[in-house]
Amino acid sequence: MDDQIYSIGELSKLSGIPVRRLRFYSDKGLLPPSARTQSGYRMYSGAELARLDLVLALREAGVSLAEIQKILANRTSFADVLALRLRTLETEIRSKRRIAAALRVALKLHEPSPMDLRRLWTVTRLSKTEFRAALKRFYDDVAGDAPVDAAWKRKMMDAGTPDLPEDPTPEQIDAWTELMDMLSDKAYAAEMRAYMSTLWTAEFDAAAYAQAADATFARVRAAIENGLGPQSTVGREIAADWLARSAQAMRRAPDKDFLDWQLEQYRKHHARSARYQELMAVLQGQGPQAPTGREWSWIIDAMKQLF
């Protein structure tokens, strides 16, 4: 290690950092002087010069002064800090790429409309974290006072949170915008809250309902693949079994009143649910024509034959 002692002015010349900035680092505890003269002037050794090089390298990497202080005090590791900075940079890069995509779209237009400007504003705020936060607010709202299972809510949020493309198309940006609008629609939330209050009663067995739904949808998919329609004998069998199992999970009788209730809920909510899935498909690059909700449509048509 260099045993030479430097004044703050000499350190400034060696490092190219202004004296004022060196004093700032010193006052923050990032670059404490190794000694002071009788007149109070700060003096630095070769160790402080090496320490300054580290501080400058970390600042160049975008590490905050607070994090640098933790590193120098051995309260956190280089790897942890740099990994955090890398994740932040990657998020910033994805955000900038989306903004660039929106700008390219806008520049292709002779006279951008207010909708085009809204698209640009939307894409600057694209964030999976932001979307999930909006989805959580939606489910918290629609749950109301119903005893909704936390695990079920997490499962629905996982299924309903899209993976955003790095370089979105105009259609994907519009899909994102429509999804966010849907989640902030108070009328829609009120409709879903009313539905939740009838589904999530104290007697509702969520696990049994989910198991019945998974098994029924598997049978429906197999029937569709085999070319069997909902009006077939198999369709009627599947519909009767679903009505019985879903009624049991809700502690209700599998009668015509329960059937009518299911058909009414489908009429009220399926269009929105199907549109949500269509928009998710657009974001995933599948296109809006991707089959959406076909299992529900099939089973509902099959259930109309009952009673």
pTM exceeds 0.85: no
What is residue 241's predicted lDDT score, i.e. its pLDDT?
96
Residue 127 has pLDDT above 80, yes or no: no
* Core vs surface per residue 188-199: b (16+ CB within 10 A) or e: bbeebeebbeee
Which has more pLDDT, 137 or 84?
137
Partners of residue 42 on adjacent β-strands:
36
- As given in the structure block, the two tokens for residue 237 are 């069998």
Mean pLDDT in residue range 93-121? 71
**19-46: pLDDT as tens digits:** 999 999 988 888 888 888 888 888 988 8
User: Selecting from 1.10.1660.10, 3.30.479.10, 3.40.50.720, 3.10.129.10, what CATH number does the domain 6-72 have?
Assistant: 1.10.1660.10
117/248: higher pLDDT: 248
Total residue count of the chain as it appears in this document: 307
Write the CB contacts of 171 (distance below 8 Å, at least 6 apart in sequence).
Answer: 282
Summarize pLDDT for 214-248 with one digit per residue, the tens.
Answer: 999 999 999 999 999 999 999 999 999 999 999 99
How far is it, in rounded angstroms, from Cα 14 to Cα 49? 9
Q: Give the range with max mean pLDDT: 65-69, 119-123, 146-150, 193-197.
A: 193-197
**Domain limits of the chain?**
6-72, 78-123, 128-303
End-to-end CA separation in angstroms for the chain: 91
List for the chain the helix, strand, coil content (%; round to 5).
Answer: 70, 0, 30
